[in-house]
Structure 1
Amino acid sequence: MSESSDAESGIAPQSLRVPTNVSSRSRRLDGAFGHFADLVQTISNQDAITRYKTEEADNGIPIGDLTDTGQFRDAEGRTILSWEAGDKENPYNWPLWRKNVILLTTMLAVSNSTMGSALPSMAIPFIAREWGITSQIQLVLPISAYLVGYVCGPMIWGPLSEHIGRRNLSIGSFFMLTVWTLACALAPNWPALLIFRFFAGASGSAPIAIVTGIFADIYDDSVVRGRAMAWFMATTVFGPLFAPIISGFCSTSIGWRWSFWVGLMSAGATLVLVCFLPETYAPVLLSRRAAKIRKADPTVQVYSATELDPHDFRQLVTRVLTRPIRMLLTELIVTATCLYLSLVYAIFYMSFQAFPIIFQNVYGLSPGVTGLCYLPIGAGALLSLPVFFSYDYVLLNAKARGAEWAQKEEFRRVPLATLGGPLFVVSLFWLGWSARSNVPFVVPMLAGIPFGAGFMLIFMALLNYITDAYEIFAASANAAASSCRSVFAVILPLATRSMFARLGINGACSLLGGLSLVMCVIPFIFIWKGEEIRARSKFCLALREQKLEMEQRNTKLRSRRMSKAGDRERVSETKESV
């Protein structure tokens, strides 16, 4: 039969006809994906509604009967405890000095965590020599095993901190980091060292996942929270920069195990401070207050909203622990941010393989001096801080003037990444094309300044952006970002030595620079289309709707409380006149 007769008879031509089994398979796949998308959306909506109901109750704005004490009663007559105006136990109302102590403690905790990631960097040749390790891939494993722990840990610590609180997880995980660092110092063989490194990474990843949630707990002002995040992010860079210096000088003088002994001393001293870290998660604090009231008077029925919300294992698995994965798979903002941060983060960890190739092989520097070559990266990271604070000042002035651009969410943080991205790209081409024997080693070393500045600006901008976008689920969004970038940081460094051997220093750095150039368009897209992306984000939409409803009920609550207060005042005046 010809094509024309096929067409006339209403039958698709043979060349265009889709086999029945393929068509039905396609429909089944579409149906499966549609069902999965609906399921994910249902869970996300329930997640947002449940969390904001708890938030409303904690702030005294649930739907219910207002009592004379300003609290609410549910249908069963139980009093639901909430924060009162100006409540000193509310983390938002804590004094500035206490918040600064928390900030300093979290900075020290994360610096120990990130220092641990690169602690054996310059010691690996000495470790390999002791145990006869010759495989080039295995030489990367002491760092990669730690980063595999960074992949697994945040997916548990982040959402779990939004379920049971911050303090106990912070102390327990940091204590285990200290224990596993001790185990690395005493490791009897290569496999044991790798296992201990994995558990150290899984424990040490907790601050990266939890601290953003702590900042959301204690800072209600996004500007102040952003500045705290900037200081916190700066310390995440300095940890890995100190590690090569420590391992470089220890390994050549007193032995590679002393790299871990020094890390243990630092972690032990910090653990003392971490043990004094207070609980900052409002639902947990209110639950403790309610339990204390019931203990003092067993007849009262006072509960926090969290206590009345059922917490079962099914909810923990389906809603809480899957939250970072759902965000990563369904939220374009989280996905794009994770991809960009993952590449930048992986390149940073590739430098622990690349710097010895450049500064030891080309320039003949010792491991200790090669470790010092990382210091310009730290200088660049410090230079990014005044840029961050200056932009904050410009933005606040623009808002005060009523500038239209300053009112847009994307302009709060993202422009910093549009500056950091090109700086990062320039640094890679600078490093690759200046690293040659006839050029002083200081020249490629100084490429670390734009590298560190670009790295920090990208991270500060995008992590703050997703923190502001997902607010009460900031820890889960950051857990997704942390785990995703750690996957890249595990995989890409495995190819570093072979890539530099095949492409040369200039070719390898140019390849990484080119990939970074492609990725650095992401912040520009956020500025251009970010509002539309957030408008199409069902998770952001659910959060926004719940927040709006909470604010509307809060307005009604204020008027009801003012009305009751006015009634009590009139009754009091009447009694006095009588």
Structure 2
Amino acid sequence: MTTSLQESRRASAETLSPPKDVEKAQPPKHEVPADGEDAGQASVATCSQPGEDPFLVHLDAEERPKSFSFARKVVILAVISSGALCSTFASSVVAAAEQGMAETFRVSQEVTVLGISLFALGVALGPLFVGPLSEVYGRSPVYQVSYALFFAFTWPVAFASHISVFLVFRFVTGFCSAAFLTVAGGSVSDMWAGHQVGIPTAVYTMCPFIGPALGPLVSGFINQNTSWRWTYRVLLILIFVHVLAIFALIPETYEPALRKYKAKRLRNLTGDSRYYAPLDRREGTLAVLILVSCYRPFELLLMDSMNLLLDLWTAMVFGILYLTFEAYPYIFGINHGFNLQCIGLAFIGMGTGMILGTGVNIWIIVAWHKRHPGASPTPETHLLSGMLGAVAVPASLYWLAFTSYAGVHWAAPVLATALFGAGVVFCFSATFTYLVSAYRPRAASAMAANTFARSVFAAAFPLFARQMYARLNTDGATALLAGVMTVAAPLP
């Protein structure tokens, strides 16, 4: 029996070992660029010559995420998109709970608004750290750890005994939830080829923006009928369901990480320590990667005018989206007499517009591919839907400004917010796909810069919304926002 076992192990080693006619020289070190997805693909391409390095591990065709079945890709996309929706849902769910929190903690509602702003600030800073971690350890471990921490740190938010505890952990949960808003876009591109990625990206892009509209809708019903703490208890349940789905349904899709795991399996199976993947020979420490990750987005913002202008444009749109959490109580609460849960229901208009906008965006993508079969669009082609958004956003804000009076039926401003929701989807889907296409191999840095800029604006805008609407009234304040977006309309 011992002899048979030894012969079996020897046969396995011979099967996995490189051809004998290839010289087994110690392979040189290969530096892996810092920008995750594109860097990994570059590494695969660099060392793909057969026989060049017999110990450099590659993936077989069936091991690549792009070879997953369509059904499996759809399930992974659904979990990723739902996780992004849950993250942004958590950012806005505090909106209807502000009055109850102010009474419990004996603070003003201006202080409770920080629950939105600090969460958004955490989302702004999170990508600078989770991006490098995903480049070293892969996407799946980052999802699992970040969402487990998101779940754990939401408990102090739900059961906080003091406003300072609540605010500190709102920032921490925002930081932990950033993975699905940053790394998930790379997971989508891991699974679909360049000419197929448009529709999955459009679906994923919609979800982080439905979340902010869904949060006030759900929390409006909760806070109208029970304690504000149930807002966060419901959020805990939702996060826990996503944690289970992440661990059960999302495999690793980052090819450099898959090659690293395969190299480790080969070393363990053969006992030959010479098998390696590019990530095993990565130069520089994780701390250096994080420093580079923090530096590059700001370099793009300061040195690249195209990146700066598009990021400022989308940041203003995102800031206005978060400003609506404070504007709706004026427009629909004071002017139209809506109670808390009906104010939340008014967000259905915006959410419906986002879904319709995604449908139109998919139709544009399909129509383009029918006219150019098998071709990949140029980066500038993606800005076509952004041009629609640049018109739809200010038009919807003018419509909302001059139909927000008490004498106008409430359906008119709700329809205006539907057009605004569609415009938001057009703006962001165009910008995201343009940045990923135009800034290779620094697409990860370009996306991190955009996430930072728009999250900072999302943190800032709710802080002055109440004062602006109190001073300028609903028509003047909304028209001011419309004027700013009119000036910005030529940018895409």
Distance 1:247 1:165 in 2: 35
Q: Give RMSD over aligned pairs.
A: 2.3
**Contact kept in structure 2, 1:159 and 1:321, CA below 8 Å:** no
Residue number among 261, 276, 298 corresponding to 1:303 in the alignment: 276
Q: In structure 2, do the counterparts of structure 1 residues 326 and 497 end up closer, same or farther at CA, with 3 Å as the change threshold? A: same
Aligned counterpart, 1:260: 232
Q: Aligned letter for 1:262?
A: V
Name the CA distance, whole Å, in 1 between partners of 2:162 and 2:36: 49
List 4+ stretches of structure 1 deviating above 6 A. Answer: 48-53
How far does the alpha carbon of each residue in 1:482-504 deviate from its partner, in whole angstroms, 9 at most, with x for none? 11111111112211111112212
Give structure 2 stretches of 5+ with no counterpart: 1-30
Q: CA-to-partner distance for each residue in 1:28-57, whole Å, 9 max, x for gaps?
A: xxxxxxxxxxxxxxxxx9947998775344
CA-CA distance at 1:439 after TM superposition: 1.1
Structure 2: distance between partners of 1:350 and 1:264: 25
Tell whether the 8 Å contact from 1:216 to 1:471 is kept in structure 2 after alignment.
no
Partners of 2:128 and 2:290 within 8 A in 1: no
SS of the aligned residue for 1:82 comes to coil
1:484-495, aligned counterparts within 5 Å? 484-495=453-464
Q: In the alignment, does 2:72 pair up with 1:98?
A: yes
Residue 258 to residue 220, structure 1, CA distance change in 2 (3 Å) = same
Q: 1:235 aligned to 2:211?
A: no
Deviation larger for 149-158 or 283-292: 149-158
Change (3 A) 1:310 1:177: same
| From 419, 422, 425, the counterpart of 1:450 | 419
Structure 1: give runs of 5+ residues left out of the alignment.
1-44, 524-578
Match of 1:463 in 2: 432
Q: Is the 8 A contact 1:58 1:83 kept in 2?
A: no
Q: Distance in 2 between matches of 1:53 and 1:149?
A: 26
**Residue 225 (structure 1) aligns with:** 197
Structure 2 counterpart SS, 1:151: helix
Task: Note the alpha carbon deviations across 1:409-457, whole angstroms, 9 max, x for none.
Answer: 312x111011111111111111111111111112112211101100111
Q: Give the structure 2 partner of residue 81 of structure 1.
A: 57
Equivalent residues of 1:336, 1:522 under 8 A apart: yes
Q: Secondary structure at the match of 2:183?
A: helix
Residue 295 of structure 2: aligned partner: 322
2:16 matched to which residue of 1?
none
Q: 1:410 aligns with which of 360, 380, 383?
A: 380
Which residue number in structure 2 is paired with residue 62 of structure 1? 47
Higher CA-based Rg: 1
Asked if the contact 1:360/1:370 (under 8 Å) is kept, the reply is: yes
Q: Is the 8 A contact 1:354 1:496 kept in 2?
A: yes
Residue 57 of structure 1 contacts residue 81 of structure 1 at CA under 8 Å; is this kept in 2? no
Q: Secondary structure of the residue that 1:278 maps to in structure 2? A: coil
Distance 2:364 2:112 in 1: 42
- Of 377, 385, 409, which residue of structure 2 is paired with 1:440? 409
Quick one: distance in 1 between partners of 2:291 and 2:119? Answer: 27
Task: Please list the CA deviations of residues 362-382 of structure 1 after superposition, one character each: whole Å capped at 9, or x if unmatched.
Answer: 111100010000001011111
Find out whether 1:245 has 2:217 as its counterpart: yes
Whole-angstrom CA distance in 2 between matches of 1:165 and 1:321: 19
Over 3 Å counting, the alpha-carbon distance change for 1:112 and 1:315 in structure 2 is same
Say if 1:304 and 1:355 are closer, same or farther in 2 by CA, change over 3 A: same
For 1:255, what is the secondary structure of its paired residue?
A: coil
Structure 2 residue matching 1:447: 3-state secondary structure? helix
Greater alpha carbon shift after TM alignment, 471-480 vs 147-156: 471-480
Instruction: Say if 2:120 is the partner of 1:147.
Output: yes
Identity %: 28
Change over 3 Å in CA distance of 1:95–1:311 after alignment to 2: farther
Q: Compute the displacement of 1:320 (Å).
A: 3.8
Residue of structure 2 in register with 1:549 after alignment? none
**Structure 1 pair 361/127, CA: closer, same or farther in 2 (3 Å)?**
same
CA drift of 1:329 comes to: 2.5
- What SS is found at the alignment partner of 2:405? coil
What TM-score, normalized to structure 1? 0.76
Does 2:172 match 1:203?
Answer: no
Aligned positions, number: 461
Give the TM-score, by structure 2 length: 0.88
